[in-house]
Amino acid sequence: MGELTTLNMSSPVIKIKGIGEKTEKDLNKLGIFTVSDMIQHYPRTYDMHEPPIPITELVEGNIATIEASVLNAAVTKQVRNLKIISCRVKDYSGVLTLSWFNMPFLKNKLRMGYHFIFRGKVVRKNGVLVIEQPAIYTREEYIKKMNVLQPVYALTSGITNNTITKAVKTAMGLLDFSKDYLPRRIVKEYELMALKGALQEIHFPKDKENVAKARQRLAFDEFFQFTLALQALKEKKNVLTNQFRFSKGEECSTFIEKLPYELTKAQKRVWQEILTDLTGVKTMNRLVQGDVGSGKTILAALALLFVGVNGYQGSLMVPTEVLAVQHYESIREMFLEYGLTVILLVGSMTQAVKRKTYEKIKNHEVDIIIGTHALIQEKVEYDNLALAITDEQHRFGVRQREALFNKGIQPHVLVMSATPIPRTLAIILYGDLDISVVDELPANRLPIKNCVVDTGYRETAYRFIAGQVAEGRQAYVICPMVDESETIEAENVLEYTEKLKDALPGSIAVEYLHGKMKPKEKNDIMERFAKGEIQVLVSTTVVEVGVNVPNATVMMVENAERFGLAQLHQLRGRVGRGKYQSYCILVSGSMGKDTKKRLEILNQSNDGFYIAGEDLKLRGPGDMFGIRQSGDMEFRIGDIYNDAKVLMLANEAAKSLTDKEISTIYEENPVLAQKINNYDIGTL
Ligand SMILES: Nc1ncnc2c1ncn2[C@@H]1O[C@H](COP(=O)(O)OP(=O)(O)OP(=O)(O)O)[C@@H](O)[C@H]1O
């Protein structure tokens, strides 16, 4: 048994019997490196062996089962290096050919008149349907199979479902699960399945109820460990004392007074919260949550101004270059009169420009640094960075946030998000941060008028857009989506733009924007759109995050049915950002009942939190929520929406642990301890 005990969760997968070097490489492609990764490669879904159907009802491309007798003995044919064995079978409805590759031994089994159940993929060969490589069962064997859920795994070339099934089975048999890492009282109190049972049942379930119970336990584990990781992070940060002394602040009052509008009550409140943090005894770790267009940017600007006038550096990191340029331009202008210099740092800059920028940052020739991921490159050295802001943080990992944090001595951290996560969940998921909510829209806003239409409405919509442009406004048109590739998507945008140019009066400047364009081209287009030189912008979802052109009043979305509601809400948030009445036209290619119901939610409400909640009610378990698709939180099995209750319970359980229980968990499970320590908190 010596060899068996050497297998543990952190062993490389190659240690699992039956896995060789080639398979190991292929498994790596699936992100499977260790035994633990292997075990946690949970099935995507389950396959149920269905009752046999008549031969005449076979459909090309399906996996199908038939019950038939062998009509004439199997024949073997050699085609190049393949030995193909085939035989004809018949049931009461018809006759069919079955074929197998390189399985000559089947010849003995497939004797004339013998009766079997065959299951395999139906394909068309020379114009007729055949089943290739069917599995062969006796009736008794098949009946047993029929009640079993077969795991279906995510695969890659070189890896079959069978490879994974076997490897998981072998590993499960060898791992020592005698001890569950969760304290027994928690397993009992929350009525959880034992860990071993849960893993067994998730891969090889007895029935659907067991899958549900297993999922619940494993999701609980994920959320539980996540909470522990957050707590550890919070403890680490809680001890950090404020390293910065701020003596000035009147510039902020002047700044607020000079704004062309009055801050909303919510903005004033949140600004006070930020200010209290900045001047408090501890380092700030704050999340500012607010719906699209609620005016979070001005709060970021105020915080940057505050540290800047006090002689420190401040940075603002955003997810796209378009957004970085937008913020850079507006903040640079706003800060001119306060004598603060602002610099842009983005990936597409030439090496020479970047080097110069690094120099300026290091020598404190600049006060405020705005950019993308480029801000956390190793080469960037800050001088007295007092504040690190990340905008739309759901695109960043906590590690990235940490990387920036580690650049300064202990900068204050401010995170801005428009992701509509209900407060109860946010408190858990952002457990390491204090939360402020900008829960009010500026008073000058008129609610966006929405309509959900079919493609027959296009011409009317174009006329409407032309009318808005005639009044001096601008419009976005989000192009129909294509799945294939970014290149095809780009072509698609070009084509649509041409069509739109034809449909609109020649005096209207129509331009396009897509992901394949060079950053500089994208920025130029956005800049011209912001200046009003372009009136209609045809775009992919590049404009989704944070783009701010208050003069734009129409958002027309083609193929609206293909987007998640959260994403549509973000897109719609690009209009209604100023004093003009704005409109959102959702064009749907198909108007099924479900599509209608979903889009109707947007039609009825402009409130992101309400939309998130309603979307949740409509979705069945296992569905992906728009937010998650945007890479928000990377749990393997848990879904923060569908498993919200489990999330809350796991959080409660983790918080109830005594110090002794925590240290026991860590001591007895070094692999887990390490995992928790290195946890990339989803991508919070
Ligand atoms: N109190 C206010 N009154 C009127 N307009 C305001 C107010 N606060 C901000 N604005 C304006 O509202 C627009 C949207 O603000 P901002 O870009 O900060 O939104 P946001 O919260 O960052 O939204 P998103 O999440 O969509 O990026 C801007 O043009 C801004 O100048």
pLDDT at 373: 84
Our answer on whether the CB atom of 445 is closer than 6 Å to any ligand 1 atom is no
Closest CA to 679 of 489, 397, 437, 447: 397
Over residues 99-126, the mean pLDDT reads: 90
* Residue 336 CA, ligand 1 centroid: distance in Å: 20
pLDDT in tens, 266-314: 999 999 999 999 999 988 989 898 888 889 999 999 999 999 999 999 9
Instruction: For a ligand 1 pocket test, name from 267, 288, 298 the mutation site with the most ligand atoms within 8 angstroms of its C-beta.
Output: 298
Instruction: For a ligand 1 pocket test, name from 258, 436, 437, 548 the mutation site with the most ligand atoms within 8 angstroms of its C-beta.
Output: 548
For residue 387, name the pLDDT band (cuts at 50, 70, 90).
very high
Beta bridge partners of 132: 99, 121
Phi first, then psi, for residue 193 (nearest 5°) are -70, 150
For residue 371, name the pLDDT band (cuts at 50, 70, 90).
very high
Q: Whose CA is nearest to atom 30 of ligand 1?
A: 295
pLDDT at 618 over 60: yes
Our answer on whether the CB atom of 515 is closer than 6 Å to any ligand 1 atom is no
Q: Which atom of ligand 1 is nearest to the CA of 418?
A: 25
Q: Whose CA is nearest to atom 31 of ligand 1?
A: 295
Q: Whose CA is nearest to atom 26 of ligand 1?
A: 292
Our answer on whether the CB atom of 444 is closer than 6 Å to any ligand 1 atom is yes
Which of 84-93, 437-446, 630-639 has the highest mean predicted lDDT (pLDDT)? 84-93
Our answer on whether the CB atom of 638 is closer than 6 Å to any ligand 1 atom is no
C-alpha–C-alpha distance, residues 209 and 356, integer Å: 62
* Residue 113 CA, ligand 1 centroid: distance in Å: 78
Over residues 446-475, the mean pLDDT reads: 93
C-alpha–C-alpha distance, residues 536 and 157, integer Å: 44
Our answer on whether the CB atom of 256 is closer than 6 Å to any ligand 1 atom is no
pLDDT at 628 over 60: no
Closest CA to 203 of 192, 214, 217: 214
pLDDT at 400: 60
Beta bridge partners of 538: 477, 512
For residue 402, name the pLDDT band (cuts at 50, 70, 90).
low
Token pair for residue 129? 């349907």
Our answer on whether the CB atom of 393 is closer than 6 Å to any ligand 1 atom is no
Residue type, 46: Y
Residue with tokens 């005990």: 5
C-alpha–C-alpha distance, residues 285 and 205, integer Å: 43
Query: Which domains are assigned to the chain?
Result: 1-47+155-176 (1.10.150), 50-147 (2.40.50.140), 250-438 (3.40.50.300), 449-605 (3.40.50.300)
Token pair for residue 578? 């100023």
Q: Whose CA is nearest to atom 15 of ligand 1?
A: 295
Closest CA to 499 of 469, 471, 479, 475: 479
**Are 154 and 41 within 8 A, CB to CB?**
yes
**Are 155 and 31 within 8 A, CB to CB?**
no
pLDDT at 482: 55
Task: Give the CA angle between residues 58, 60, 64 to the nearest 5°.
Answer: 50
Share of the chain above pLDDT 70, in %: 90
Q: Whose CA is nearest to atom 9 of ligand 1?
A: 295
pLDDT at 445 over 70: yes
* Residue 327 CA, ligand 1 centroid: distance in Å: 12
